[in-house]
Structure 1
Amino acid sequence: MTDWKDNLPQAAQTYLDGRRLDEVECVISDLPGIARGKAVPASKFAKQDYFHLPDSIFYQTITGDWGEAAGEDGFIEKDMILKPDMDTASAAPWTGDWTLQVIHDAYDRDGDPIPYSPRNVLKRVVQLYRDQGWEPIVAPEMEFFLVARNVDPAKAIEPMMGRSGRPAAARQAYSMTAVDEFGPVIDDIYDFAEHQGFEIDGITQEGGAGQLEINLLHGDPVKLADEVFYFKRLIREAALRHDCFATFMAKPIEDEPGSAMHIHHSIIDIETGQNIFSGPQGGETDAFYHFIAGLQNHLPSGLAVMAPYVNSYRRYVKDHAAPINLEWARDNRTTGIRVPLSGPEARRVENRIAGMDCNPYLGIAVSLACGYLGLTEQMRPRRQFYGDAYEGEGDIPQVLGQALDMFDGAKALHKVLGPEFARVYSIVKRAEYEEFLQVISPWEREHLLLNV
């Protein structure tokens, strides 16, 4: 009789070689990107084809409150059917026993995909590309901070203490010495990633104090979103081993740059295997320009998904390594849309707007959806920008409320992402935003209490 573990991905089989599997974590991403699910004994997992969770996990805000998004049936917490995608089986090497994680997909009782499950949203967008004969390729870049342990929300976040005994220094971009300060944490990140079968393209020091960037190799959007989903947990666990926190907040520290999830895109013609952004002679095609136009025309309406929290909008500050507009240019990091240096086969378009705090499935889905609309609408972008784009005007929403208003009106984008997802997402995010608006900040107490 064949053992189900014989069909696991190679990295998982290597991890378990000669060992007894104790537990399987059955996980699924909610709207914020938090892993929800159940941990079950390996013997039980081997006997089950699916398990149940209530659909209410997708109505929950980042604070644990609820949006009234249950629809006509009301808030009855219907069970969803969660089925494992065994291609995602991966080690959980930080646990005390031998544990695997498996990402699951959510279906209703009729076997239809739950339309507001983030992984299903991304799969829907990718399928729209494939229906046109295109294969989308992405490469995400993950920026994050390693910070000192912080258990008091009233206390400002501070850089972590480095190996030298000094706090991590700012403005040391690409410094190898700065990377060495985090050596023990990075060593664990590499070890965990190897156990999980992930290939890291590189780790660099970014401009913020304790800020690092990890680049992943390009590939299938769903697979790469799975990896970012897994990586966030992996990095947090590595940091905790060394008495610090890893944070993916878009703007955790005042006067420091924010953290982005830059997304590189290219599109392959399924029939020919060629990059549709490059013509037979290596020149830029109409599709290349249409894709850029789609990002320019539709990203403002999708910003509420790629910048999902009030903190996200603190990142879009002039001259702080984040774009303030959607100009496009070649090899220019001040623009929101960048075309990196490359040969014709690797020609790609980089979206520099998304924050690292976004759900990776949804951030990639929205970015691809905007490009898809550009390809199908066949519009032309604005003229290429030359110079410092920070000297121009901003053309993206400045606060979450404005972004949500634009998202609610974006019917073309809703059609690509799924109208039911758009409905649920808007309700949940507005519930979250209204909860935030009831909080009185230290700034207000300091400057308004006795002065107004």
Structure 2
Amino acid sequence: MALNDLADTLKERKINIVHVGQFDHAGIFRERRLPRDSFLEWADKPRFSNTVAIWDSSDNLFGPGPYLTEDVVIDPTSLRSYPFEPDAAAIIAEFSGDSAEIMPRAVLRRQVERAAALGLEVRAAFEFEVIFLDETAESLRTAGFAGLRSFAPDNKCWGGQTGANHAGFVAGLEDTLRATGVSVFGVSGELGPGCFEATLAAESPLKAADDAGFFRLATRAYARNHGKTASFMSCLGQGYPGLGGHVSLSLWDKATGKNVFSDPKNVTNPAALSFIGGMTRTVPEAFALCAHTVNAYRRYAPGSWAPKSVGWAELTFTTAVRSVPSQGGGARLEFRLPGADCNPYLTLALMLGAGLDGIEEKLSAPAPTPDNGPDDIPPGAIRLPGSLAEAAARLSASENARRLFGERFVNHFTRACEVEHASLARAVSTQEIERYLEG
């Protein structure tokens, strides 16, 4: 879409304010808010600060200069409604210069292009768990982020009573998500106080990842506008469940229009098994791509629901990869390892890149483990890294990751993970003080 066409679209949709930006490595949407005329003037030669590529979640720079603006390319297909102010929209503009190859959306796009070169179309969907707290930004800081007050503390997993008690809140959230252009399959209650789950609908991979990013933005804004806080931390602490950010994926043959994973016998077919074989090989090495925070690894502690290695089984919820076989279009693979704080672009790029390797090389999947619990490590399986520091070291050493995602990206993202680990390496929890202070 040319700039003139985009201008016409904005005018036709009566969009007077444009929020233009991109999601960074921490999953934060870094934007500029511009009136329509200012946006169109800027869009003639668009540039954005390259600090977006080297900011952590606390707005600290973790990379060297020079710090300047770089060329960006606006993706007109990413235009979506922005319901938090009247007559507004959001749109994504990606770096096209020096920082392009290290940004998450570009990493995913390269794997999508690879699939297209193989004659494959990708469809994907995310599913997120979220915990709502009865806290505002001010109350959290006044209390020093301690003694968190739960919303819906009486919630039962999939409990109809929760849905009835808080129907207005849940319906309002879903309305907000749809108004933000997020494709929603459903929103319902989940396990734990204030815990809900949103299943997003299947889309093209870039749209699916965009939806995931804007889902979290919209959910956080909706919560704050109702005097609450939405948490996507993988592990919020004692009394709260771990939060997942699962992604489902299917491949479609562009020539025939058929689902590559479907099977007339309603079983996991050879293509799906090879895809799983690729994930089994590469995910343990490049796990940081779907678990880039220190907190993410709390969710993989012993006794948690999250798997500790990359196993698989049909229809089983306790494995890293859940195969959903079908004779028709419903066949898909679900990657259940990522937490709710995952970067959706990098998570999907990891799953797709590793799986395409499996298909191209005709790799074999390990034996399914339907009876294993989350803490069980199947014979021959590699235990997942136990910390962000270990995950960063594995990523740096992974030849597969460097081949798939590029030397420069791997070096850059490894550095981001190392800095993130170091930021909390000397932090001491109240639980540690309680355990050791008087011992």
Any idea what the Cα deviations from partners look like across 1:88-122, whole Å, max 9, x if unmatched? 21222122x4221111121117xxx7101111111
- For 1:263 and 1:30, the matched residues in 2 are separated by 19
Distance 1:304 1:3, change over 3 A: closer
- For 1:174 and 1:287, the matched residues in 2 are separated by 34
Superposition RMSD in Å: 2.3
Q: Does 1:403 align with 2:391?
A: yes
CA drift at 1:279: 4.8
CA contact (8 A) 2:263 2:326 kept: no
CA drift at 1:380: 0.9
- For 1:3 and 1:296, the matched residues in 2 are separated by 45
2:313 maps to which of 316, 319, 329? 329
CA contact (8 A) 2:263 2:325 kept: no
Distance 1:447 1:342, change over 3 A: same
1:79 maps to which of 69, 86, 105? 69
CA drift at 1:4: 4.0
Q: Does 1:105 align with 2:66?
A: no
- For 1:334 and 1:268, the matched residues in 2 are separated by 27
CA drift at 1:448: 2.5
Aligned to 1:143: 129
Q: Does 1:435 align with 2:423?
A: yes
Identity rate, percent: 24
Which amino acid is the alignment partner of residue 288 of structure 2? A
2:228 maps to which of 231, 244, 266? 244
CA contact (8 A) 1:295 1:370 kept: yes
Distance 1:369 1:43, change over 3 A: same
Any idea what the Cα deviations from partners look like across 1:182-202, whole Å, max 9, x if unmatched? 333323222223323333111
Aligned to 1:90: 80
- For 1:244 and 1:420, the matched residues in 2 are separated by 40
Any idea what the Cα deviations from partners look like across 1:223-255, whole Å, max 9, x if unmatched? 111111111111111111221111111111323
Any idea what the Cα deviations from partners look like across 1:307-350, whole Å, max 9, x if unmatched? 11111111124554322222211111111111135434321111
**Residues 386-425 of structure 1 aligned to structure 2 (within 5 Å):** 386-390=370-374, 392-393=376-377, 395-425=383-413
Aligned to 2:9: 7
Q: Does 1:373 align with 2:363?
A: no
- For 1:385 and 1:33, the matched residues in 2 are separated by 33
**Residues 196-235 of structure 1 aligned to structure 2 (within 5 Å):** 196-235=180-219
Q: Matched residue of 1:101: which SS?
A: strand
Q: Does 1:131 align with 2:125?
A: no
Aligned to 2:153: 168
Q: Matched residue of 2:133: which SS?
A: strand
Which amino acid is the alignment partner of residue 150 of structure 2? P
Which amino acid is the alignment partner of residue 350 of structure 2? V
TM-score, structure 2 length as denominator? 0.91
CA contact (8 A) 1:129 1:135 kept: yes
CA contact (8 A) 2:21 2:30 kept: yes
Q: Does 1:66 align with 2:51?
A: no
Which amino acid is the alignment partner of residue 378 of structure 1? K
Aligned to 1:163: none
Which amino acid is the alignment partner of residue 50 of structure 2? D
Aligned to 1:54: 49
Mean CA deviation greater in 261-270 or 179-188: 179-188
CA drift at 1:391: 5.6
Task: Count the aligned residue pairs.
Answer: 427
- For 1:142 and 1:390, the matched residues in 2 are separated by 19
- For 1:390 and 1:118, the matched residues in 2 are separated by 29
CA contact (8 A) 1:50 1:83 kept: no
2:341 maps to which of 339, 357, 363? 357
- For 1:317 and 1:433, the matched residues in 2 are separated by 17
Distance 1:177 1:320, change over 3 A: farther
CA contact (8 A) 2:389 2:417 kept: no
1:339 maps to which of 323, 332, 343? 323
Structure 2: gaps spanning 5 or more residues: none
CA contact (8 A) 1:83 1:104 kept: yes
- For 1:125 and 1:391, the matched residues in 2 are separated by 31
Which amino acid is the alignment partner of residue 31 of structure 1? H
Q: Matched residue of 1:146: which SS?
A: strand
Aligned to 1:183: 167
- For 1:379 and 1:153, the matched residues in 2 are separated by 50
Aligned to 1:32: 26
Distance 1:222 1:157, change over 3 A: same
CA drift at 1:181: 3.5
Which amino acid is the alignment partner of residue 439 of structure 1? A
- For 1:386 and 1:194, the matched residues in 2 are separated by 36
CA contact (8 A) 1:296 1:326 kept: yes
Distance 1:246 1:450, change over 3 A: same
- For 1:300 and 1:253, the matched residues in 2 are separated by 25
Higher relative contact order (CA 8 A, sep 6+): 1
Distance 1:319 1:433, change over 3 A: closer
